[in-house]
Amino acid sequence: MTMEYRTKEEQVADFLREGILSGQFPRGTRLKQVEIAELLKTSITPVREALKLLEAEGYITGSSYKGATVVPFDVTASSEILMLRMLLEAQLVRGAVEKLQTSDVEKLRTLAAEFEAAAKKGDSSAARAINYRFHRRIYDIADLPHTLHFVQILWARYPFDLINRLSGRAERAAAEHAELLDQMIAGDTAGAMLTTRRHIETGWAELRTSLNE
C-alpha cells in the first residue's frame, strides 16, 4: 500500500507516527488537533480520527478535542517488545523480498542514501525521520497489513528516539541498512531476515549498555 492510496486519516496518522518515533514530537508532548490541522493544511476531522487510531495503538493518551499527550517510554516493557519486533519484522522483510520490484529498489536506495548522508552530517532529527520511512517502505511492500498493524503497536512502545541519539549509532545503522538492502535485492530471504533481527537487537543492546554506564 502506497501513500497515494491512503485516506487523509491514514496520512495524518503516519505523519504523527513518524514525528513521535523520530523525536519531532518528544514523549510527554501535548498534541493539539487545531495545530496539527493547520500544520498539515487539513480539516479537524481526519486529525481527530488519526488521534483516535494512535491512541488505540498506544502512541498517545487522551485523544480529546483539547489535545493528546505522547506516551512516555516504559523501559520495563521493552525486552518483550524486542522479541516480538524481531519476530514480526523479519516476517515483513520476508514478504518484501518476495514482492520487491525495480521501482521499490530505487526508492529504498534513495532512502538509504539519504539516511547515510544525514548520519554523516550528524543530523539526528533527519536521520530518525528517514529511518522510519525506510523501514515503513519495506514493510508496505510486504503487503501484510495485519502484521504491520501489530508492528506499529510495538513501535509505539519502543525507544527509537533514545537509540538514534546514541553516539555513532546512525552510522552503524546506515551500514546495517545497506547490508539488508543488498540481501533483499539479491533475493537472499534468510540473510535479510537475519540482518533485520540483528539490526533490531543491536540497537537495543547499545541502548542498554549506555543506560548501564
- For 104-118, the pLDDT digits (tens) are 999 999 999 999 999
Q: What is the pTM of this model?
A: 0.85
For the stretch 137-174, pLDDT in tens is 999 999 999 999 999 999 988 888 778 788 899 999 99
**Domains of the chain by range and CATH?**
3-70 (1.10.10.10), 75-212 (1.20.120.530)
Question: Do 19 and 25 touch, CB atoms closer than 8 A?
Answer: yes
Beta-strand relationship, 60-64 and 67-70: antiparallel
Distance CA 138, CA 118 (A): 20
